Structures are given as C-alpha cells and as structure tokens.
C-alpha cells in the first residue's frame, strides 16, 4: 500500500447512509446493495456504505489508509465491524448521497490492491435516531489496509441500540 494517509472532516448523511466509493462508482449505484446483518456497514464491488442513526445531516469522519491491520480499539466506539471491499480502480473517495463531503475529505484514497480489509468504527448513532440534524452528533473512523483474502464480515464490538435494531432486520 502507499504511505499511510489520514483524512478527516464531515460528510452529509442522507437516508441513514454515506459512502466510500471506487472512482467509477456513484451513490446512485448503491441501489444494488443488500444490507448485511452486521448493523453498521455493507459492501459490494466498489461501494462501502455506512449506516447512520441520523436520517440526514453531517457526521464526523476520519479515514485512515494503513500498511497493515491496526490494533483493535473499542473503548470509545459503540460499534466496530470489519469487512472486505473490492476496489477495481484502486482509488476510493468519500461521498454523500445528496452532497459532497467537506473539502478535507475530497482527497482520493489510493490503494495498491483491488482487495482491502476495512474496519468501520461508529459512535453516537443512538443520539438523534431518525432525525435531521444541523450539527454532527455521530463519529466514524474507517481504517483500511491491503489484504489477499476475502474474509467474511466480523462484528468486533456492538453496543448501540441502532446497530442491534439493524442486525435484527
């Protein structure tokens, strides 16, 4: 993988979601997603969709590209899920369904492999469930690193009521 990279800012959630997308993929392509039972994230080729508690509004996001899997940290997070993501064009971008993310999150995230492991952390999803907010009440950390195995999803930590509700669907 290229050198480690960290970008952070705000992304606008719409209809309880925002994305990391391969460069040839668009939010409109999310219609082909089948939400998985992990309560936080789902993927298909070129799309990582994150489920927010808020219906609409800003969420704080940090994206880290790493050279290998980091130590697991759950202390400040309500939910943590790992999944695999196929990135055919080897470049990801943060996207909202209706609006562009803050300028700080518009830096493309280059990856050396077409297969990455992604760990998504979330907190605050129970704070304003199904509400349109004007100030960020949710935090997300997305860590990704190269892998050569397409492992199944793994729920590393799950304490939010919203995540429990999503896993029940």
- The pLDDT, as a whole number, for residue 117 is 97
- The pLDDT, as a whole number, for residue 161 is 93
Q: How confident is the model at residue 33 (pLDDT cuts 50, 70, 90)?
A: low
Tell me the CATH number at 87.
2.60.34.30
Domain that holds residue 111: 5-167
pLDDT above 90 (res 35): no
- The pLDDT, as a whole number, for residue 3 is 81
> In a 3-state reduction of DSSP, which class is residue 100?
coil
Residues of the chain with pLDDT > 70: what percent? 92
Phi-psi region of 88 (alpha: psi -120 to 50; beta: other; left: phi over 0): alpha
| Range of lowest pLDDT (63-67, 97-101, 115-119) | 97-101
What is the pTM for the complete model shown?
A: 0.93
pLDDT above 70 (res 72): yes
Neighbouring C-alpha atoms within 13 Å toward the C-beta of 85: 33
d(CA 141, CA 120): 6
Q: How confident is the model at residue 164 (pLDDT cuts 50, 70, 90)?
A: confident
Pick 141 or 36 by higher pLDDT. 141
> In a 3-state reduction of DSSP, which class is residue 69?
coil
* Arithmetic mean of pLDDT over the chain: 91
For 37-60, what is each residue's pLDDT tens digit? Answer: 798 999 888 999 999 999 999 999
As given in the structure block, the two tokens for residue 44 are 């298909």
- The pLDDT, as a whole number, for residue 160 is 94
State the total domains in the chain: 1
- The pLDDT, as a whole number, for residue 157 is 95
Q: How far apart are the first and last CA of the chain?
A: 36
Q: How confident is the model at residue 68 (pLDDT cuts 50, 70, 90)?
A: very high
- The pLDDT, as a whole number, for residue 166 is 84
> In a 3-state reduction of DSSP, which class is residue 51?
strand
């Amino acid at each position: 993988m290229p050198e480690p990279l960290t970008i952070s800012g705000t992304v606008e959630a719409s209809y309880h979601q925002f994305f990391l997308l391969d460069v040839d993929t668009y939010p409109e392509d999310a219609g082909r997603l089948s939400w998985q039972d992990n309560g936080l994230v789902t993927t298909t080729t070129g799309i990582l969709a994150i489920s927010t508690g808020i219906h609409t509004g800003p969420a704080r996001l940090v994206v880290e590209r790493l050279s290998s899997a980091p130590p697991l940290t759950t202390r400040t997070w309500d939910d943590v899920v790992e999944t695999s993501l196929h990135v055919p064009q080897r470049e990801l971008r943060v996207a909202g369904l209706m609006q562009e993310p803050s300028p700080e999150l518009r830096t493309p995230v280059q990856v050396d492999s077409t297969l990455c492991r992604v760990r998504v952390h979330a907190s605050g999803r129970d704070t304003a469930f199904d509400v349109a907010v004007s100030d960020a009440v949710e935090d997300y950390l997305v860590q990704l690193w190269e892998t050569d195995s397409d492992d199944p999803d793994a729920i590393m930590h799950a304490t939010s009521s919203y995540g429990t509700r999503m896993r029940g669907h």
